[in-house]
Structures are given as C-alpha cells and as structure tokens.
Homo-oligomer: A and B are copies of this chain.
Amino acid sequence: MKFFQTRFSLPPLSRGFHLITEKIAAALPDLKEIDKGLCHLLLLHTSASLTLNENADASVRGDFESHFRHMIPENAPYYRHTYEGADDMPAHLKSSVLGSSLLLPVSKGKFVLGTWQGIYLGEHRNRASGRNLCATIFGA
C-alpha cells in the first residue's frame, strides 16, 4: 500500500469554468507510482469548486458559467454577507453546490475517467489569486 499526500497550487484563473485535467496530472508525479488506486483532490478555498464534466466542447463550460450566474445570482435581496463584493456570497454557494473536492480512480498511473470526462475548476470570484490544493494518492 502506497500513500502520498502533497500540496500544490494552480495559477490564477479568470472567472468561469476551466478544464484542468492535464494541469492536475502534471502536478502529481506520484500518480505514476500507482497501479490501482485512488486520488483525492481538495481545493483549500470556499469560493471555487471542482467538478467532472464534458471535456470536448468549450461551450459547455461557457453555459456552466451562464447557468450558475442565473441559479445563484449576485445581489439577491436576502444576502446579508455582502461586504466582500457582489460576487462573494454567490461564490460560496457555488462552491458548496458543486463541491470543492473530487475522488478519482487511478489505474496504471493515470486517472480513470470516461471518454468525455474532464476535471473542471470553477473560479467563482471576479479576481482570485492562485488556488491551493491538497492531493492524497493511495493504492497498490
């Protein structure tokens, strides 16, 4: 049984949804040590998210941003937590609706994903610094 735990950062990304599958794999050389296992990713922030979705057509990522702006709007009359900007409270809500972690199977050193699946980072702030993650990789 092998067990690796490491922290790493992604550079600042613009508001919206970004396909980061390759960036994550490149940041985790320990994946190659695993023949059969799992990789857990936790975003150490409360205004961004990680989710799996369609990896081929960028219009899907655009529609994610449009839909979440609609479903979790800025300036809702019932928000009380407003002093960090109009994008802040919606960012917190989006982070919890989409989730800030993923657990992915690993086989022969690579993520097991469906043909059309990729890892999205949802950046929900208008201006964000880089985002920090904790990865935990284990298996045989």
**A interface with B by C-beta (< 8 Å):** 1, 3, 5, 36-38, 40, 42-46, 51-54, 57, 59-60, 62-64, 66-67, 70-72, 76, 78-81, 89, 92-93, 95-105, 107, 112-117, 120, 132, 134, 136, 138-140
Could you list 11 further interchain pairs (A-B, Cβ under 8 angstroms) beyond the known A3-B140, A60-B89, A101-B103? A3-B36, A5-B37, A37-B136, A40-B105, A42-B105, A44-B114, A45-B114, A59-B80, A63-B81, A70-B78, A112-B134
Assess whether A66 is in contact with B78, with CB atoms less than 8 Å apart.
yes
> Is the Cβ of B40 less than 8 Å from the Cβ of A103?
yes
Q: List 23 A-B contacts (CB under 8 A).
A: A5-B37, A42-B105, A44-B117, A45-B114, A46-B52, A46-B54, A52-B95, A52-B96, A60-B92, A62-B80, A63-B80, A64-B93, A66-B76, A67-B76, A67-B79, A67-B89, A67-B93, A70-B76, A70-B78, A71-B71, A100-B117, A103-B103, A138-B139
Q: Which residues of B contact A112 (CB under 8 A)?
A: 5, 42, 44, 134
Task: Report Cα–Cα, A136/B139, bound state, in Å.
Answer: 10
- Identify which of B107, B116, B138 contacts A46 (C-beta below 8 A): B116
Q: Are B89 and A45 in contact (CB under 8 A)?
A: no
